[in-house]
Amino acid sequence: FCIVGEESTFNTLRYFQHLFSTISYLTMGLPRIWWKDSEGHTEMLYKGELLTLGHLQQIAAATELEAVRVWREEVLMGLDLYVDWTGTKDDMTNHQVGHSFLTDPRNSHIFKKNIFAQAILSSSKLRKEFCTGFSKKDGWLWNVKRMQVWLQKPVARLNHLLGVLIDISSGAPIRIAELGALLRCNTTGRPTRNIMILNEYVVLIRNYTKTSSIRGYNQTIPHALSAVVSDLLVQSLAIIRDFSIF
């Protein structure tokens, strides 16, 4: 309760609200964007530079080509690996912890474990880079520093490009906090994963959490991924994910 003549929390909030409102009104905010096409909204000036829808399409296409190059040349390092995920089955109603299309028993003939590690060991060149020796007790001894370089450079670069492509080519922009917290499988705290497959289409199911405290629940928003992003995402999860976790 508020008592006349005594300081309260509401008085402090009211003071800062007036202060910030005054600062906002006194701050000059001139526009950065001017639409040249007021009907179709396909052309605009951004800080004086012409930006069109065609430019954005060129950016997306160039980013896809770069992502494919990084995947083939830097992440796979020339290894001829590809998982044909045609016919993948996915049960979206399964909320069991750890479940995903990768672990679904019906897809065991499609998604194999340790694909990337076995391919490295089969290549004499890569085996010399990623292994420091062999022990009869422990098997191959992995070069931890080389693995860290692989994770921190090409794999991180690929994830960065995939994040950019998902953001610019899958509908409304996604909050970075939500994009960086996507789950490939169900967990105890979040029983609904974010990556699912519908027939031959990969769908990103994200949770809008910004207004959760007001609404009392998270909003579920689906995003359809492009063919290139879909395939790269599935290939990344199916081929290198186990090795990255290891």
Q: Tell me the one-letter amino acid at 127.
A: R
Confidence of residue 1 (pLDDT cuts 50, 70, 90): low
| Residue in the structure block whose two tokens are 């027939």 | 199
pLDDT tens, position by position, 181-231: 888 999 998 888 999 998 889 999 887 777 767 777 777 888 899 999 999
Q: Mean pLDDT, the chain, as a whole number?
A: 90
DSSP state of 22: H
User: Can you tell me the distance from the alpha carbon of 79 to that of 59, in angstroms, rounded to the nearest whole number?
Assistant: 28
Mean pLDDT for the stretch of residues 154-181: 88
User: Can you tell me the distance from the alpha carbon of 31 to that of 49, in angstroms, rounded to the nearest whole number?
Assistant: 13
Paired tokens of 134: 């062999």
Please tell me the predicted confidence (pLDDT) of residue 71: 98
Mean pLDDT for the stretch of residues 133-143: 90
pLDDT tens, position by position, 26-82: 887 888 999 998 888 999 999 999 999 999 999 999 999 999 999 999 999 999 999
pTM of the model: 0.81
Please tell me the predicted confidence (pLDDT) of residue 187: 93
**Please, what is the angle between helix 53-69 and helix 156-169, to 10°?**
150
Mean pLDDT for the stretch of residues 147-153: 96
- What share of the chain has pLDDT > 90, as a percent? 62
Residue 239: is its pLDDT beyond 70?
yes
Please tell me the predicted confidence (pLDDT) of residue 2: 62
Mean pLDDT for the stretch of residues 105-117: 94
Mean pLDDT check: name the lowest of 24-38, 142-156, 168-182: 168-182
